[in-house]
Amino acid sequence: MKSSKVLRISVTDRCDLRCIYCMPESGVPLVAPADLLTYEEIETVARAALAAGIRRFRVTGGEPLVRRGLESLVEKLARLGPDDLALTTNGLNLARHASALKAAGLGRVTVSLDTLRKERFETITRRTGIERIFEGLDAAREAGLVPLKVNTVVIRGVNDDEPPDFVRFGEREGIEVRFIELMPTSGLSPECKELGAWRPALFVKGGEVRARVEEVFGPLEPVSGTDGVAEVFRTKSGARVGFITPVSEPFCAGCERLRLGPDGRLKLCLFDKGGLDIRRVLREEKAGPAEIETLLRTALGTKTTWDRGDLEGLQSDMFKVGG
C-alpha cells in the first residue's frame, strides 16, 4: 500500500476564479513575486521530503496553472521518482496544458468543480468558463492523466441538490466524484458578503450527501485499500464516489499531510496559523536537503499531537495553502 505521507505544494496564491466560499470578489493581498519559492527551491524541499519518507506530492494553488512554466516544476518533481505526483486545478486552463503536463511526468489530475450548471457556476465562481473545464477534463483523459477526480464542495441552498447529477456525470465520464464538506475558510469571513461569517446553516454533512446519493442509486459498496482522506464507495454500476468529511468526522489523528505555501511557509494543517518559514531557512541559512529533511521529520512528528482547536473559531486562507 502507498505511504499516506503527502506534501501538498502550493505554487501560487493567485486564482482566476473568485469562488464565494474561498476568496472575496475584490481579491486578496498576494505574495510578492520575489517572495514566492522558486521551482529550484521547491525541488530542494521535495528532495528532502522524499528522504523524510514522504512519497506523494500534490501541486496546488491558488490555481497552479496560472503560474508560468509549471511544466518545468512537474518535470523536476517527476525526476525525483515519487510514488504519486498529482495536480489539483480549477480546470480552466487544463485543456491547453494537459499534454505538456503528462509529457513532463504528471501522473493524474483532480479538478475542483462545484456545479454542472452554467448559470450556477457563474454565481459560485463569479466568472464564466464552465465549458473550458469540461474541455479540460476531456483533454486530461486523452493525455492519460488518470484516474480523473472531481472535488465538489456541497453548500446548502447553493448546490446541495446536485450530488445525484454529479454521480451520473461521474458514471458517464469515468470520473471519481468526491463530495467535500464546507469548512470555515477565509471566504466565509465577513469580507465575503455573499456568504458572510461562518454559518452552520450552510453546512451539509457528508453523511447527508451520502444518504441522498443512496436514495437515487441504492446502497453504496465500500472500496477497500484506498489511500488519502476520502472514504470511497462504488455504485452498483461501478462508479466511484468519495466523501471527505473534515468537519463531521475529523481525520486529524490519521493525517500525515504537510503543506508548503507559495511563500515557503510549511504548515501542519489548513488551520495552522504559524508554520515554519522554509524560505528563510533556504535563503538566509543556505540550508540544503539534509537540513530541510530534519525540519520535515520534526514537522511529521509534531503532527502526531496536533490539535486544530475548536472548529467554530477557526479560519484558513485556503487559497494560500491549497485545499
The pLDDT score that the predictor gives to residue 310 is: 55
Check whether 1 has a pLDDT greater than 70: no
Amino acid letter, residue 277: D
Q: What is the rounded distance in angstroms from the CA atom of residue 254 to the CA atom of residue 240?
A: 23
Q: Which grid cell sits at 222?
A: 465500500
Q: What would the mean pLDDT of 296-305 be, rounded to a whole number?
A: 89
Average pLDDT of the chain is 89
Task: List pLDDT tens digits, range 127-163.
Answer: 999 999 999 999 999 999 999 999 999 999 999 999 9
Q: What is the rounded distance in angstroms from the CA atom of residue 231 to the CA atom of residue 180?
A: 11
Task: List pLDDT tens digits, range 178-228.
Answer: 999 987 654 444 444 345 555 677 889 999 999 999 999 999 999 987 777
Task: List pLDDT tens digits, range 54-82.
Answer: 999 999 999 999 999 999 999 999 999 99
243 vs 272, which has greater pLDDT? 243
The domains located in the chain, with CATH, are: 6-321 (3.20.20.70)
313 vs 233, which has greater pLDDT? 233
Check whether 105 has a pLDDT greater than 90: yes
